[in-house]
Amino acid sequence: MPTPPRAIEASGRNIRQTFARSLPNASSLAEESLARDLQEASDDEGLETETDEDSDTETLRPSATAPSHGFAVSYRRPSFTGAGNRSIFYSRGNPDKLTKQERQRALEEETSLLRDNRLIPPKHPERDTRSKFLGIPRRTSAPTETSALLPRGATDPSRPYGGAADDPAKISKTWNEAIEAGQIQTTWQREAKVLARYALPLMVTFILQYSLTVASIFTVGHIGTAELGAVSLASMTANITGYAIYQGLATSLDTLCAQAYGSGRKKLVGLQMQRMTYFLWLLTIPIGIIWLLADRILQLIVPEKEVAHLAGLYLKIVLAGAPGYATFEAGKRYVQAQGLFSASLYVLLFCAPFNAFMNWLFVWHLNLGFAGAPLAVAITDNLLPIGLFLYVRFFSKSGMSCWNGFTRKAFSNWGPMIKLALPGVVMVEAEMIAFEVLTFAASLFGTTTLAAQSVLATLTSITYQIPFPLSIAGSTRVANLIGATLPEAARVSTRVTFVAATVVGILNVTLLSVLRDKIPWLFTSDSDVIDIVSKILPLCAAFQLFDALAASCNGILRGLGRQEFGGYVQLFCYYVIAMPISFGTAFGLKWGIWGLWSGVAIALGIVAAIEFTYLYGFLDWNRSVEEAKLRNLQD
């Protein structure tokens, strides 16, 4: 007897749920950290008292569905926030507050979503006219016995297009009812607009920040082949042993700062930033020791002694900017938790061109040579947090509302923060270390090959600065929609993210393929290096689509709280698959640098395939919603 369809469906659902539950959930760590901070804050008047900057707020009234008991309930505003999962909590005796600007933005987005779902009248009356060209009347749905004669909210003739269209109280009531009834759906057009609004400033920000390193490569690359290889080797070493650690650990603030802000305890956002800043400064001590001894360490690995010596010199000088870089990474999360996406962009719009100018000034005009490039980077790294502070202090209306001054509490409760950050470090380090290994391997083929490898690594890193911000935008949007108990809308946003990633990947493939003979001249004038780069670029172009899709999958996994799965997949693909293939083809089959890159290309394709299959075949989206509800009740 064949198995009934319902039994098959139930069996498949049980398998997916069992597989999903086997993965660790990092959300409890964030809850633990926030609970401790809120407990400490209950006795701290500094965190409880509203400042003058917080006085310009509106208290949100509980919805009609809010229970009368002492537990807090919440719903998410999926279109209001641009960073993290912010909640609007209703709790007895401690109502949340939003600034007037935040409340207005939330109201506008809710109104737009209600219009899209035809729960309130449209902004402009629909015209029931005939086609000018064909004379065919506009097709409308036929009325039924239960259909309303007038659309919801169109009962007040004194208001344009109906009372619910411009009455905040009715909008809030309609929104709450629609959320409870599961009537809110999104569209491809809306999700595309939201992702574009989130991703575009992030793309510019990431490209500008990466340009700080690229400017050194451009400037030093024209001094000589050894200098080009040394600056690439030093940059990769700095990324692996320092910058990637800073970035990976700071990802915990994407959750902690957003939850603190959403809970109504704005001062805890500043506390979390202070805590992370001090922790990163502490880690700078062992990082600094490695960088100071880098010349000796690299000489044991790299056969070219001159290259190792110059790379060590670069790291010694750039160490002066490490504390500033760490502070900027924590500060970025501080402003993003408040929705201030443009803050870091404005800072980099000044610092990036200034960094390029200093590279030219120090290397060529002041004749400092190779040492001028890391000096420019170190100065810029220290200018970044200063510029961010100036923007928040003097040009942002709400940025200082989350700052409560320096406090000793920043030296406690580090455990949950560190544990929450570990998956982020794994995901960042897995790929970077793989490319670092390729750079070391390329040095075994000689200085010319190492210089070509530096150009290729830089080019692929530049192209990655487009799909990676897109993945951050997708992660944020999906997290917001899951928190708003809108799993179907989250699925739509995921599909839009994948389509956008495909477009970006194809664009990168086209650019690298068409310009493969012109791009190398931007980095060096050495004909041998240019020839090698031109031959390998088609292979690098081929995996750009896989790279973009893998980045988007990782972003969606972060939004769903499944970043551990992405970390496991990348560790397996890079070190079980990519590395053996790269070394086997490069040295065993004598393919040289072509073989080194072939393993990476295959690994990226497998990463994209596995994570895509998991998201569409095994993930329980409704379970993600239930986890969000539980998280809100616990908070």
62 — phi, psi (to 5°)? Answer: -60, 145
**What is the pLDDT, as a whole number, of residue 38?**
57
496-522 core/surface letters (b: 16 or more CB in 10 A; e: else): bbbebbeebbebbbeebeeebeebbee
Report d(CA 454, CA 404) in Å as an integer. Answer: 45
Give DSSP secondary structure letters for 207-274.
HHHHHHHHHHHHHHHTT-HHHHHHHHHHHHHHIIIIIHHHHHHHTHHHHHHHHHHHTT-THHHHHHHH
**What is the pLDDT, as a whole number, of residue 152?**
43
Report d(CA 220, CA 119) in Å as an integer. Answer: 61
Residue 606: partners with Cβ closer than 8 Å, 6 or more residues away: 573, 577
How many other β-carbons are positioned within 10 Å of the β-carbon of residue 301?
11
What letter would DSSP give residue 22?
T
Q: Which amino acid is at 238?
A: A
Three-state SS for 57?
strand
Low pLDDT (below 50) residues in the chain:
1-26, 43, 45-96, 128-164, 631-635
Q: Say if residues 549 and 498 touch (Cβ distance below 8 Å).
A: yes
What letter would DSSP give residue 378?
H
Q: Say if residues 240 and 436 touch (Cβ distance below 8 Å).
A: yes
What letter would DSSP give residue 577?
I
**What is the pLDDT, as a whole number, of residue 120?**
81
Q: Say if residues 291 and 239 touch (Cβ distance below 8 Å).
A: no
Instruction: Break the chain down into helix, strand, coil percent, rounded to 5.
Output: 70, 5, 25
How crowded is the C-beta side of 609, counted as CA atoms within 13 Å? 8
Q: Say if residues 201 and 340 touch (Cβ distance below 8 Å).
A: no
**What is the pLDDT, as a whole number, of residue 83?**
32
- Strand 87-90 and strand 73-76: the pairing is antiparallel
Report d(CA 391, CA 382) in Å as an integer. Answer: 15
Report d(CA 217, CA 221) in Å as an integer. Answer: 5
Q: Say if residues 509 and 203 touch (Cβ distance below 8 Å).
A: no
Q: Which amino acid is at 262?
A: G
Residue 582: partners with Cβ closer than 8 Å, 6 or more residues away: 438, 441, 595, 596, 597, 598, 599, 600
How many other β-carbons are positioned within 10 Å of the β-carbon of residue 168?
13
Q: Which amino acid is at 543?
A: F
Three-state SS for 99?
strand
**What is the pLDDT, as a whole number, of residue 304?**
80
90-105 core/surface letters (b: 16 or more CB in 10 A; e: else): bbeeeebbbbeebbeb
Q: Say if residues 504 and 467 touch (Cβ distance below 8 Å).
A: yes
The conformational region for residue 304 under phi > 0 = left, psi -120 to 50 = alpha, else beta, is beta
Task: Look up the pTM and report it.
Answer: 0.68
10 Å CB burial of residue 385 (0-12, 13-18, 19+) is buried
**What is the pLDDT, as a whole number, of residue 495?**
92
How many other β-carbons are positioned within 10 Å of the β-carbon of residue 68?
7
Report d(CA 609, CA 619) in Å as an integer. Answer: 15
10 Å CB burial of residue 5 (0-12, 13-18, 19+) is exposed
Cα angle vertex 480, ends 477, 482, to 5°? 110
**What is the pLDDT, as a whole number, of residue 531?**
92
Report d(CA 255, CA 87) in Å as an integer. Answer: 12
Q: Say if residues 498 and 580 touch (Cβ distance below 8 Å).
A: no
